[in-house]
Homo-oligomer: A and B are copies of this chain.
Amino acid sequence: MPITISVLKEAPNENRVALSPTVVSKLVKSDYQVLVEKDAGSRAFYQDAAYTDAGAKVVDQATAIKGATIIAAVNQPSSEVVDQMSEGQSLIGLLAPLTDTDFVKKLAAKKINALSFELLPRTVSRAQTMDVLSSQSSVAGYKAALMAADHFSRYFPMMITAAGTAKPAKVLVLGTGVAGLQAIGTANRLGAMVSGYDIRPASRGEVESLGATFLTTSVSGSGEGGYARALTPEETAQQQEELAGFIAQNDVIITTAQVPGRRPPVLVTQKSVDEAKPGTLFIDLAASDLGGNVAGSKPAETVTTANGAQIVGAGDMASQLPASASDMFAKNVQAVITDITEDGKLVFDIDDDVVGELLATYQGEIISNRLRSAMELP
């Protein structure tokens, strides 16, 4: 019996889907069977007919769950879905194991084998093709810059016309990880004057190679795995004060600073928001229920301040470019599944440096060292 990969319809606030027809077609050619829940891809403009054409079977949810060797999901499936799964089935997706350990315990109790992209060891080069956080951050950064340009009341590029010249917009990107660099590149394509800020001095080269100006403050902090470290309260205050000067000189501020598993740092204080010129636009990619990088930002909402500045809570940008984001996500899923397939079966090597970390649960055990540490297991 071939390995069967099932794809379910995501929750209503998620436009992405875990497999795209292009990737389904490749999987089917490699002898996997694919079951797609009816209407699973419609919000990403992938219709049932496209999956059928690619070689998948379109079925109801219960059939997709029951027939799955592995379920591919973007986000945590609902508890109704997990309840229908049985021992020995597998699950792959962004399962939020570090912040929702109850969910992990439930999967372990049911002896479901769960691979979660948040646990991927991103510095291992073999893991790059599986890196959902990177592919989706790249989408988010592109989309953030586009949305900024579409929301802004002025041209991004310099415009020279018969009646006079319009100056280019000044765009500041705070945080120059994958999302920040993509936002810088896209704003730059559109002709804005772009600068990028990071507390990791090593970012200078990447920012400058995109044609943008690199800014940094006297606070410096590189952390583990290429991320920035969390700052002390004193360092945060000093950083915020120095940043305020940069923010006041720009028209559009895109913020992308996230520290895994922690509340995002406030980079734009209430004072900076209050003092912003009318028409200033803040796009907060870190906006979530945990807070964001901009004081007063709200997830998936646009807040207009008394002074006429706008704060867009843009934590769901990847979901807003659903066709491309899903296709990238699907390629990452495909890379993992291919990696763990041996002789037509899924084989989980818990000693492998990638798979052993990606595995949240296997045969009732919590495997990932990072997750065990977060759960304070020995």
Contacts and interface: CB of A to CB of B under 8 A. Distances in A.
Interface string A135-157: 10011001100110110111101
Contact of A138 (B135, B159, B278): B159
Given A138-B159, A162-B128, A332-B163, A45 B321 contact: no
20 contacts: A44-B153, A45-B308, A47-B278, A129-B162, A129-B163, A130-B163, A134-B162, A142-B155, A142-B159, A146-B190, A149-B150, A150-B150, A153-B321, A154-B321, A154-B324, A154-B327, A159-B324, A163-B332, A166-B328, A189-B191
Contacts of A321: 152-155
Contact of A278 (B45, B134, B163, B190): B45
A245 interface: no
Interface string A157-173: 10101111010000000
Nearest to A162: B128
Contacts of A322: 153
Contacts of A129: 162-163
A153 B45 contact: yes
A181 to B, nearest CB: 13
A284 interface: no
A150 B166 CA distance: 23
Nearest to A182: B159
Interface residues of A, number: 47
B146 A279 contact: no
Nearest to A26: B164
A372 B288 CA distance: 61
A42 interface: yes
A335 interface: yes
A147 B332 CA distance: 29
A163 B47 contact: no
A35 interface: no
A279 B159 contact: no
A191 B146 CA distance: 13
B153 A324 contact: yes
A101 to B, nearest CB: 29
A85 interface: no
Interface in A25-63: 42, 44-47, 50
Contacts of A154: 321, 323-324, 327
Nearest to A309: B45
A131 interface: yes
A155 B278 contact: no
10 A-B pairs with the lowest CB-CB distances in the bound complex, closest first: A45-B279, A163-B331, A153-B323, A128-B162, A150-B150, A154-B324, A154-B323, A155-B324, A45-B278, A129-B163
Interface string A99-135: 0000000000000000000000000000011110011
Most buried by B among A135, A142, A143, A154: A154
